[in-house]
Amino acid sequence: MRSDTLRVYKTVHTWTGIVAGLLLFIAFYAGAITMFKDSLSAWTTPPAVVATPSVPLDRADVLIARTLDAHPAARKLFTLSLVDGDRVRMSWQPSAGQRWDAWLDDQGQLHTAQSRPSDAARFIDLLHMTAGVPGGYDVGVGVMGVVSLLYGLALVAGVIVLLPTLVKDLFALRIGKNLKRMWLDAHNAVGILSLPFHLVMALSVVAFGLSDYIFDVQDRVIYAGALKPMMVAQNPYFAKAPATPRADSAPPPTMLPPARLLAKVRERAPQFEPTALRYRRAGQDGATVFVAGDDARYLARDGGFALMDPVSGKFLNAQFLPGDGEDEGSNWSASTSAFYALHFGSYGGAPVRWGYFVLGLAGAFLFYSGNLLWIESRRKALHRDGVPVTQRRSTYVMASLTVGVALGCICGISLTLVAGKLLAGRVGDLHAWHVGIYYATFVAAIVWAMVRGAARGSVELLALATLSSAAIPVTSLVGALLPASGLWFSTDPGALGVDVGAALGALCFAWMWRKTCRRIEAGRVDSVWSVRKGSDARIDDVDERVDEVVETQQGR
């Protein structure tokens, strides 16, 4: 391949990566953590909330009826969670950070309890989907769809740049005194070997974020407004549940008992294991019930689900019910469901979740290191051109922004998790605290890095990342030793895993902090990653020439 063509692809790869890298770091880091969002919820949930009594499944219809009579607001959306096989718990959230639970005692009396559990796991998942872009969920997901287009372009361009030396250098990990060459070899190998994972992430996020815009453009430009009627005609499941108007004086329609609905689901998909029923507009026109669950034999979106009419028991949408073959187009639905499952990692159990966790962290590191390498390359480019090596202000700003965004995200997530346990039961709107703590930490980290510079800021923010990560297991330890403090120690395996994982993360950040301290003291004075000053410091020209040769061979 001609060298000028490679330079074009290298430029495309560099600038698309620079533009998208910071938002992708947040998305990948938060996404890696949300692979264990159930464990995060268990860690941040007080024992009193976990201990809410359950009700036998055959009495769930009585529980629903009495709860809706006493709390009409629950009709909007409530959940029946299946526990211990044949028992359920009923809950609903009238607003973010507020939860109600309902149950029946042995005499059939209704009891309800209000709590304000932490929704830190849901908030981190929202960061994963939107990268924290302001403007609401729809805006954030749309922005990430565009970012993922750039991300996919960067992937393709990067592979093309590496093609000339791909076969020779893919598994060539040259270990020796030249650490830069060794890490470059490792970077290329990891990037190529994880390419399928990154392609799935890029394509699926484009589908998530831009599908509505793509359909709207197709509808107006190609189909002249006839696309939606055509889709409904070809597949009635695209239509909304029919709503039959009734007189205000007419009694609400009687819903089937949950046991009957579950029996219909198991009859249609015998191997499907329901885990929850989510009712919308219960007892009102157009009511639906979303039956969530899982079937280990299939790749399925969100584990698999079905949408039903709670009054008639009719399936309104069974396209994503694993193993179901009664619908037209079920093969297409199974294919798309499997594609989405590859994004969420909702298959294969713990091994897949851990694999996605590692790949997510590795992806975040690639975006972070890519920005740092580009920033450092500005110095070498100036040196090669024979110009005095004076870093441009834009380079300093980009370096500080990279440090502030990445470490601000890490610190913000850790601190908002800690707040979930420290503030439980002590504040009225814990959700607002989660949002405020994350964004305050995130913005403060960026400002700090801008003021202090990338070198000093990276050291100080890494120290904060170490302390904030260590605070997670420390709060659990305090809860175990001092229960009177209001903290708690959970013996749930998932919650224990959060403590262990955070402790290991703190050790990793401490190691990075120590290495960075040495780096800023020993680095070349013309680098943005050095705090040393002086015009008499020498640049190691031999290392510069070696780096140039390696980069030329790798197409960088």
- What is the per-residue pLDDT across 444-491, written as a single tens digit (0 to 9) for each? 999 999 999 888 999 999 999 999 999 999 999 999 999 888 899 988
**Does residue 211 form part of some domain?**
no
Instruction: Return mean pLDDT, the chain.
Output: 81
The full length of the chain comes to 556
Residues 518 and 443 in one domain: yes
**At which of 344, 365, 395 does a domain end?**
344
What is d(CA 528, CA 391) in angstroms, rounded to the nearest whole number?
7
pLDDT value at residue 264? 93
Residues 237 and 296 in one domain: yes
Residues 405 and 550 in one domain: yes
Residue 288 CB contacts under 8 Å (≥ 6 apart), including other chains: 241, 279, 280, 281, 307, 308, 309, 310, 316
Q: Average pLDDT in the 522-533 region? A: 68
Least confident segment among 248-262, 336-350, 472-486: 336-350
**At which of 344, 371, 395 does a domain end?**
344
**Does residue 214 form part of some domain?**
no
**Does residue 71 form part of some domain?**
yes
Helices 393-422 and 37-44 pack at an angle, to 10 degrees, of 50
Residues 67 and 179 in one domain: no
Give me the number of domains the chain comprises. 3
Least confident segment among 107-111, 150-154, 201-205, 534-538: 534-538
**At which of 344, 379, 410 does a domain end?**
344
- Taking alpha carbons only, the member of 255, 264, 257, 263 closest to residue 311 is 255
Q: Average pLDDT in the 377-391 region? A: 58
Which of 39-48, 224-233, 385-394, 412-421 has the highest mean predicted lDDT (pLDDT)?
A: 412-421
Q: How many CA atoms lie within 13 A of 508 on its CB side?
A: 10
Residues 194 and 241 in one domain: no
Buried b (16+ CB within 10 A) or exposed e, 289-321: bbbbbbbeebbbbebbbbbbbbbeeebbbbbbb
**Does residue 213 form part of some domain?**
no
pLDDT value at 368 more than 70 = yes
Work out the pLDDT band at 48, boundaries 50, 70, 90: confident
Residues 318 and 354 in one domain: no
Residues 417 and 505 in one domain: yes
Work out the pLDDT band at 231, boundaries 50, 70, 90: low
| Portion of the chain with pLDDT greater than 90, in percent | 40
Q: Average pLDDT in the 26-45 region? A: 93
Residue 387 CB contacts under 8 Å (≥ 6 apart), including other chains: none
**Does residue 250 form part of some domain?**
yes
Work out the pLDDT band at 40, boundaries 50, 70, 90: very high
**Does residue 212 form part of some domain?**
no
**Does residue 207 form part of some domain?**
no
Residues 353 and 260 in one domain: no
Residues 104 and 27 in one domain: no
Residues 305 and 366 in one domain: no
Tokens of residue 150, six digits:
């750039």
User: What residue numbers bound the domain in which 337 lies?
Assistant: 223-344
- Taking alpha carbons only, the member of 249, 244, 246, 215 closest to residue 230 is 215
Residues 317 and 354 in one domain: no
For 287, phi and psi rounded to 5 degrees?
Answer: -65, 150
Which DSSP category does 251 fall into? P
- Of residues 113 and 186, the one with the higher pLDDT is 113
205, 26 contact by CB (below 8 A): no
Work out the pLDDT band at 518, boundaries 50, 70, 90: confident
**Does residue 216 form part of some domain?**
no
pLDDT value at residue 416? 96
Q: Average pLDDT in the 217-237 region? A: 62
Residues 536 and 468 in one domain: yes
